[in-house]
Every structure is written in C-alpha cells, then in structure tokens.
C-alpha cells in the first residue's frame, strides 16, 4: 500500500509546480504531507535526520567555494583578456568569433564550475563584435547558449559535486570522468561551426582584414600574458584532483584562493569587489542549499515509503530491458529539466535511479556522466531552456526569440549526438578515472 502512495508524489509535485508555487516549498510541502500520511508524526525527526545527513556531507563544502571562485572571476576581467587572446588565433577562420566563443566558454567553464556564468560573461564580450561583423543571429545565439552550457559538464562543475553525494559515488572520480565528454562536446561544437562555415554559402561573413595582419610575436605575447594565469588556475583545481594531490573540497579552496590572486594580478581587486563576490556567493549558496534540502526531503520520503521497490515493480511490469531502463531514466531527466532546476532534478531522481542502475550492472560513474549531459541538453532545449532566458537578458532587441530558437536547435542535436557517442563508447568517460585511480 505504502509503495503505491509513493508513486503519487510525482504527479502531485507536477501539479503544484504548475500552480505557481516556488519549487523548494513544493518539495518540502509534498514531503511533509506524504510523510505524515505514511508515517504519522514520526516523519518530523526522520526528515530532520535526512536533512542533517545531507548538510553534514563534507564534499558539499566545495559548492560555496566553487561559487565564490566563479563570482570572483566575473569581476577579475578574465573574460575580456581571454576573448582578445583567443580571437588573435582564430581570426583567419571563417566565423572565427563563434569558434572563439566556444573555446572561451570551455576555459571559463573549467575556471568557474557554475552554470550560466560563462554564458553571461562571454555573451557580454562576444555579442557586440559578432553583431558588428554581421554574424548570423541564430549562430550568435546558439554559440553563446551552447558554450555557456558547458559549465554543466566540464569540471569543476558544481552539478557534478552535488551529483556525487546524491548517488553515493566518488566526486573525484566523477569529476575526472567528465573531462573527456566535456572536451568532446566542445570539439563537436567547433567542428560543426567550421564545417558549416565553409560548406554553406552566406553562413559566414567575410574574414576581417585586420585579423590577417597580426604578427606571430603579438599572438605569442598575448597567449603568455592572457592564457597562462587561467591555465594555472585550472590546474590548481582539476590538476590537483586528477593527480591525487587534493580532494574536491581542498581543490575548491585552492581555486577560490587562486581567483582572488588572479583578480589582484589583473588589477581589479578592491574590498568592494570582494564584498560583492562574498554576498553573491552567500545568495547563490543559500538558494542551492534550500533546493538541496527540499530535494533530500522529497527523495527521503519517497524511498522511505518504498518508492524504489515500486519503481522497480513498475519497470518490471512494463517489461523493459536494461538498456531501455537507462534510456527511460535519461528521458525523465531531460523532461524534468523543463520543470525543475538542476538541483531538484538531481536530489529527487538520482537517489531513486542509482540503486536500480547498479542492480542492472551498469557503471554508476558512466550513468552519472550521461545524466549530467542530459541535464545540460535540457538547458538548451526551447521553449523552457534556462540558457535562452539568460541570453534574452543581455541580447539586443533585434535578436528575436525565433532566431534564438533556430540557433539552439542544431547545438541541441549535437548534444544528443555526443551523448550517443558516450553511450556507444563508455571508455570516453571511464578510461581516464580508471587509469588515474589505478595509478594513484
């Protein structure tokens, strides 16, 4: 009986979310209601223990540190320096600014770990020169949104840090597993832009004459001055985790300290900047922790009512094979991304899906990588895509919603192609952590 009650939690949640209530309070209210129905007043101490066990997780201390690193870098001036540096090397390529945008988003994602940070930072820098050189509006929108979404998968992604504890798997191992899939996505985007630029007439504007006259010495000097600090920051975070010198939380602390040094080095550090970064970190971290609390309560009640067993029984009744279950779970993650923020999606579904995936014999690290990539895809998919809302906030009036939709669709398709590649070749996600964990 209890198992059947748990299955009603999801349709009720969807109805309440569509009624306009904040997602956090929907999750908490539904958890409390179904918990009282299933367990009576005893649910209150149970929920308190559930929330405390999540808050007591040492790895989650990395979340505010990564957020601080990202907010500090927004004020450091790194976006402008990176954009100018990469543009020097891509100027001879058709649609070179679009390629620059993807490459820059890749680096910013590896520096910040925050979804949306790269899109806003890069969008403000890249959009004016692309519009000035008569770039296709759809290409501008698709490039900036798809590039900004790379912060979901490229480590040190905050999404990955939260996924690990929710699934009960190693955060360090999961962070390492997302390196190659993240680079795969970035490469696929660049290849698509270049191929279409050279094969479709009228897609790319003429190459700017000034880009053909830049001497090599200037390029090398700009690369040393503009790229090395960013590479050093990336190594302080990802490199220390990969080499086994630091745990994710320790690496996050190094990254936060490095972002302060970078801001000082670029001459943009003031006490006011530090205060703004700390306040922004506090706001974002508080919001995320509330979402994580609501998600933990929801999944705790669902599992306590026998929801996992009910889900397994439902899948068995549907006569779904192991691979069909994996595809079904990924589709659920994709659709849930339309309604809920990524934190709610992780905390609601991952504790339910992970034990089933483990029983079916699939590698949880591999599935976690696919799950995160699917959340990233929902970030791009119109009409509810978060990335589109971010772009509309910084786009000029002449960039219509229709052109934005047209721009993101090809990149959404490329996301699905990359996911299919990781499904067919799981070693893209598993080879590096297996080698490094074994080596360490």
Per-residue pLDDT of the chain (440 residues; tens, 9 = 90+): 555 677 788 888 878 877 777 778 888 888 888 888 888 888 888 888 877 777 777 777 888 888 888 788 777 777 777 777 887 777 677 778 888 889 888 888 887 766 666 677 777 778 888 888 788 888 888 898 888 888 889 888 888 888 988 888 888 899 999 999 999 999 999 999 988 888 887 777 766 655 556 676 777 777 777 778 888 888 888 888 878 788 888 888 888 898 898 888 888 888 888 998 899 888 878 877 887 788 888 888 888 888 777 777 777 778 888 899 999 999 988 888 877 778 778 888 888 899 899 989 999 999 999 999 998 888 887 766 677 777 777 777 788 878 888 888 899 999 999 999 999 999 999 998 888 765 44
Is the Cα dihedral 407, 411, 412, 417 positive or negative?
positive
Question: Cα–Cα distance between 208 and 75 in angstroms, integer?
Answer: 30
- At residue 439, the pLDDT reads 43
Cα radius of gyration rounded to whole Å, the chain: 22
Angle (CA) 425 430 435, round 5°: 130
- At residue 417, the pLDDT reads 94
Question: Cα–Cα distance between 167 and 177 in angstroms, integer?
Answer: 15
Other C-beta atoms lying within 10 Å of the C-beta of residue 406: 17
- At residue 1, the pLDDT reads 52
> Could you give the 3-state DSSP secondary structure of residue 405?
helix
- At residue 440, the pLDDT reads 41
H-state helical runs in 91-178: 96-112, 117-132, 137-149, 158-167, 171-177
Question: Cα–Cα distance between 418 and 370 in angstroms, integer?
Answer: 10
Q: What would the two tokens of residue 10 be?
A: 């999801």
- At residue 429, the pLDDT reads 93
What are the residue boundaries of the structural domains of the chain, listed by start? 2-439
């Amino acid at each position: 009986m209890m198992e059947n009650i748990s299955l009603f939690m999801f349709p009720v949640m969807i109805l309440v979310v569509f009624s306009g209530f904040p997602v956090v309070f929907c999750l908490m209210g539904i958890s409390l209601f179904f918990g009282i129905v299933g367990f009576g007043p005893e649910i209150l101490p149970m929920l308190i223990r559930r929330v405390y066990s999540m808050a007591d997780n040492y790895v989650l201390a990395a979340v505010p540190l990564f957020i601080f690193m990202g907010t500090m870098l927004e004020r450091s001036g790194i976006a402008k320096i990176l954009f100018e540096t990469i543009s020097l090397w891509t100027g001879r390529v058709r649609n070179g600014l679009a390629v620059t945008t993807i490459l820059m988003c890749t680096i910013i994602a590896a520096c910040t770990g925050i979804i949306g940070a790269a899109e806003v930072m890069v969008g403000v820098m890249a959009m004016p020169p692309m519009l000035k050189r008569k770039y296709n509006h759809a290409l501008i929108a698709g490039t900036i949104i798809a590039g900004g979404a790379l912060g979901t998968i490229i480590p040190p992604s905050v999404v990955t840090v939260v996924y690990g504890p929710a699934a009960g798997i190693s955060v360090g191992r999961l962070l390492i597993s997302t390196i190659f899939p993240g680079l795969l996505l970035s490469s696929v985007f660049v290849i698509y832009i270049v191929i279409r630029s050279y094969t479709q007439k009228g897609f790319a504007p003429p190459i700017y004459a000034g880009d053909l006259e830049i001497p090599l010495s200037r390029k090398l000097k700009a690369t040393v001055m503009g790229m090395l600090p960013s590479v050093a920051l990336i190594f302080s975070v990802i490199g220390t985790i990969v080499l086994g010198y630091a745990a994710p939380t320790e690496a996050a602390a190094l990254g936060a300290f490095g972002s302060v040094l970078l801001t000082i080095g670029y001459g943009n550090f003031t006490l006011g900047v530090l205060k703004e970064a700390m306040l922004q970190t506090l706001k974002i971290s508080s919001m995320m922790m509330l979402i994580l609390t609501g998600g933990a309560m929801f999944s705790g009640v669902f599992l306590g009512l026998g929801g996992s067993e009910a889900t397994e029984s439902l899948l068995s009744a549907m006569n779904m094979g192991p691979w069909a279950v994996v595809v079904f779970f990924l589709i659920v993650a994709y659709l849930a991304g339309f309604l809920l923020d990524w934190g709610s999606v992780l905390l609601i579904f991952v504790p339910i899906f992970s034990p089933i995936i483990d029983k079916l014999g699939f590698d949880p690290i591999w599935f976690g990588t696919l799950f995160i990539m699917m959340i990233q895809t929902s970030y791009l998919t119109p009409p509810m895509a978060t990335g589109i809302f971010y772009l509309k906030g910084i786009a000029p009036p002449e960039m219509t919603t229709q052109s934005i939709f047209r721009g993101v669709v090809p990149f959404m398709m490329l996301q699905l192609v990359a996911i299919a590649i990781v499904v067919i070749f799981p070693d893209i996600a598993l080879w590096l952590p297996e080698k490094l964990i074994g080596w360490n």
